[in-house]
Structure 1
Amino acid sequence: MATIVTPAIVQALFTSWKADFQKGITSAEPQWQQVSMVVTSTTASNTYGWLGKFPQMREWIGDRVINSMQAHGYTIINKKFESTVGVGRTEIEDDEVGIYSPIFEEMGRTSEIQPDELVYGLLSAGTTSLCYDGQNFFDTDHPVYPNADGTGTAVSVSNYDDNGGTGTAWYLLDTSRAVKPVILQERKKPVFTSMTKLDDEHVFTSDEFRFGVDCRRNVGFSFWQLAYGSRKELNADNLWAAISAMRAATADGGQKLGVKPTVLVVPTSMEKEATRLLERELDSNSSNELKGRLKLVVPDYL
């Protein structure tokens, strides 16, 4: 016997599927927090004028010294994302709605994981994506000026070894600070909604109810000094070279930044060699200086 579709039945289905959606969110294991920070947005875009400013402490003798620092206009524009599922009225009438529970659970998991796709997708595109200084985030020509206000003749500093354009890329990051290398800008968190009124035009025309999730967010880069990319072979010597390069980083004006790499990010194809490099003891006569020094992150979406 066919089920009579009533507003109460449709509302009950929405409540049930919303619970499935929430279950998917709860079961997800996102990885974006390993390398990025969240900035709440209240407008269509955010401009990060503070990028590039590294104020330092000095002995207070006489009046305060106000340092004029070079202004940067790095803007992240929020984007809209959505996922929608249509459920036919006949499927409700014929009591065939059980197949949708795992679909909505997966929708919840996907909405929670989506920042991973954005964050690690951006990291992968770091050699072709601009950061606050007008250079690509991973670049061999970042300008560092002799004066804190961005004046003087700049010296080119590299945070990227392209290895002649060959080899698989891996990344070394300092995530120990309040500012992380990647910014996840959140304008509107995922919201599960529905169009289920029996007299809705779409329901009348297409005989279908709609359920979906939408959000507004985007990603961008912060300080390039907090990251190093390399396409060289992942071995101890090349990893130490990247660590040394990051440790030597200075801001405009020559201020030491005290960068301390904490995370090694590799694609899944390099997980085995990276694990061995960071965890394996060498032999009874020598120890692995890298063991325990870095946290290994192997993102699914890198």
Structure 2
Amino acid sequence: MLINRANIENAFTGFKVSFDKGFGSAQSTYEKVAMIVPSSASSEIYRWLGQIPKMREWLGDRILNNLEAHSFSIENRKFENTIRVRREDFEDDQYGILSPLFQELGQAAAEHPNELVYDLLKSGFTTKCYDGQYFFDPDHATLDENGNVISVANTDGGSGEPWFLLDGSRAIKPIIFQDRIKPRLTRLDQENDENVFFRDEYIYGVRARSNAGFGLWQLAWGSKRPLDNSRYAAARASMMSLRGDNGRLLGVKPTVLVVGPSLEEAARELIMSQTRANGASNPWHDSLDLLVTPWLG
């Protein structure tokens, strides 16, 4: 191929088509467990964390909920992915070889939020959230109906492969995905660009800004104990009986079980099988959705 501006432009147009194809074909599931928040600054402050609004009987003056009680900031991070294309590849018309590479570049960009969200979920046993406790912790503080501070757990501990019950039915979700700048394909392919002049290569890259942070721990249960009927039942019961400040029932109901590849068989047997090994009916059949993700592997 003759190297001129028109042909370079045509090549980039083709690369972008491949990039967009890969981006659109990626399998993303993070939206099921994370609330997507558009960001317009270097960081965002979430003052409403800790609040699950509940109606109350109006007796006397209104009771004002204090949005400053729990403040949590998520700072955006910057990410990139860059590839180099030799000038000889253009001269020798190697588009068939290069197109899959740009398609993979697009798929990686689209899948990146999965990595952020599920990596954060895995770290919840050792990473603090807005109340100063680990996201999955046996000692989250709340108030009982008499105003006394009590401890509430959203984990039963363990040391094995993690599994998670999440309530993804609400506007607020257990995880926050903060989206500042969406992935975009850019280039250095001008004849006077340093990389072209000195190294005879064209550079293409993706840039994005985003981050993930913890939302409401009340909507999540994390366990590293074996995934079986008794522990699943106990986790569901604990989530559904959870009460907020002043003893108000929160109405939490798990909607999705999240596991990695190593627990897929146990999870499918637990909630997708209609009968148990002894032939009895399975009370947990179709009790929620199953999400198996490689990002927990």
1:287–1:9 Cα change, 3 Å: same
Seq. identity, %: 44
Work out whether residues 203 and 209 of structure 1, in 8 Å CA contact, stay in contact via their aligned partners in 2: yes
Shift of 1:97: 3.6
Work out whether residues 52 and 70 of structure 1, in 8 Å CA contact, stay in contact via their aligned partners in 2: no
1:26 to 2:19 alignment? no
- Separation of aligned partners in 1, 2:145 and 2:181: 39
Work out whether residues 32 and 115 of structure 1, in 8 Å CA contact, stay in contact via their aligned partners in 2: yes
Shift of 1:28: 1.1
What is the match of residue 46 of structure 2?
A: 48
Work out whether residues 261 and 293 of structure 2, in 8 Å CA contact, stay in contact via their aligned partners in 1: yes
Q: Could you give the per-residue CA deviations for residues 115-158 of structure 1, whole angstroms, max 9, x where no partner exists?
A: 1111111111111111110111011111113489xxx6521111
Instruction: Say what the alpha-carbon RMSD is for the aligned residues.
Output: 1.8
- Separation of aligned partners in 2, 1:236 and 1:154: 32
- Separation of aligned partners in 2, 1:280 and 1:173: 21
Q: Within 5 Å, which residues of 2 pair with 1:1-302?
A: 3-68=1-66, 71-146=69-144, 153-163=148-158, 166-282=159-275, 286-302=280-296
Shift of 1:63: 3.8
SS in 1 for 2:290: strand
Shift of 1:61: 4.2
- Separation of aligned partners in 1, 2:59 and 2:136: 40
Work out whether residues 48 and 67 of structure 2, in 8 Å CA contact, stay in contact via their aligned partners in 1: no
TM normalised by structure 2 equals 0.94
Work out whether residues 171 and 229 of structure 1, in 8 Å CA contact, stay in contact via their aligned partners in 2: yes
- Separation of aligned partners in 1, 2:228 and 2:60: 51
- Separation of aligned partners in 1, 2:67 and 2:6: 61
TM normalised by structure 1 equals 0.92
Work out whether residues 120 and 301 of structure 1, in 8 Å CA contact, stay in contact via their aligned partners in 2: yes
- Separation of aligned partners in 1, 2:15 and 2:66: 55
Aligned AA (1:30): S
Work out whether residues 36 and 182 of structure 1, in 8 Å CA contact, stay in contact via their aligned partners in 2: yes
Work out whether residues 76 and 218 of structure 1, in 8 Å CA contact, stay in contact via their aligned partners in 2: yes
1:47–1:208 Cα change, 3 Å: same
Aligned AA (2:45): T
- Separation of aligned partners in 2, 1:44 and 1:238: 41
Shift of 1:55: 2.9
- Separation of aligned partners in 2, 1:56 and 1:186: 29
Work out whether residues 167 and 219 of structure 2, in 8 Å CA contact, stay in contact via their aligned partners in 1: yes
Work out whether residues 47 and 68 of structure 2, in 8 Å CA contact, stay in contact via their aligned partners in 1: no
Aligned AA (1:218): N
Aligned AA (2:129): C
- Separation of aligned partners in 1, 2:247 and 2:27: 40
Work out whether residues 167 and 255 of structure 2, in 8 Å CA contact, stay in contact via their aligned partners in 1: yes
1:70–1:90 Cα change, 3 Å: closer
- Separation of aligned partners in 2, 1:155 and 1:61: 26
Shift of 1:69: 5.9
Aligned AA (2:120): L
1:199–1:134 Cα change, 3 Å: same
Work out whether residues 39 and 183 of structure 1, in 8 Å CA contact, stay in contact via their aligned partners in 2: yes
Give the paired residue count.
295
Work out whether residues 271 and 284 of structure 2, in 8 Å CA contact, stay in contact via their aligned partners in 1: yes
| Structure 2 unmatched ranges of 5 or more | none
SS in 2 for 1:197: coil
SS in 2 for 1:253: helix
1:244–1:9 Cα change, 3 Å: same
- Separation of aligned partners in 2, 1:189 and 1:244: 39
Q: Which moved more, 1:93-102 or 1:28-37?
A: 93-102
- Separation of aligned partners in 2, 1:289 and 1:169: 23
- Separation of aligned partners in 2, 1:14 and 1:237: 56
- Separation of aligned partners in 1, 2:139 and 2:58: 35
| Structure 1 unmatched ranges of 5 or more | none
